[in-house]
Amino acid sequence: MTPKLPIHCPSCSDSLSVSQLKCENCQTTVSGHYSLPFYLQLSEEEQNFILQFFLTSGSLKEMAVQMGNSYPTVRNKLDDIIEKIKKLKSENP
């Protein structure tokens, strides 16, 4: 099982940031303060949606067929994700 990347603090629900990175080869660790990229700040479901959007060359109709949803349902999901990313961008320019 691949562990899920936590993006929200389990204690206060605020957004988490990266404070340490480690090289698996030489064990070098880098410490600092790095905010998560926008893509990683989305939920797993939203990330999968974007991946599927990319893999279907941006065809919402094809996605609707693959997901077993109607076209407006898929378009609304995309619009909601766009809105969320715009909000994240304005909060962390």
Partner 1 sequence: MKKLLLNPFENTSETKLLFFGLALTAAGSYLAYLFNGRYDGVIDLHFTGTVTLLQPFLDNLINIACLASALFLTGKLINKKTRFIDILNPVLIARVPFYLLTLTNFNSFISDITESLLEKIDLKNMPTDIDIAPSSVLMLTLFSLLAIICIIWFVILLYNGFKIAANSKTSLHKVYFALSILAAEIISGIAISLLNY
Distance between CA atoms of residues 84 and 80, nearest Å: 6
Q: Which of 68, 90, 91, 93 binds partner 1 (CB under 8 A)?
A: 68
Given the rule CB under 8 A, which of 3-11, 20-28, 37-45, 67-75 is the region that contacts partner 1?
Answer: 67-75
For residue 56, CA distances in Å to 44, 60, 71 come to 18, 8, 14
Q: Tell me how many residues contact partner 1 (CB under 8 A).
A: 12
**Cβ 67 to partner 1 shortest distance, Å:** 9
| Residue 7 backbone dihedrals phi, psi, to 5 degrees | -110, -15
Task: Give the number of other Cβ atoms within 10 Å of residue 78's Cβ.
Answer: 16
Decide: is 44 part of the binding site for partner 1 (CB under 8 A): no
Distance between CA atoms of residues 88 and 80, nearest Å: 12
Q: Which of 64, 84, 85, 88 binds partner 1 (CB under 8 A)?
A: 64
Residues in touch with partner 1 (CB under 8 A):
64-65, 68-73, 75-76, 79-80
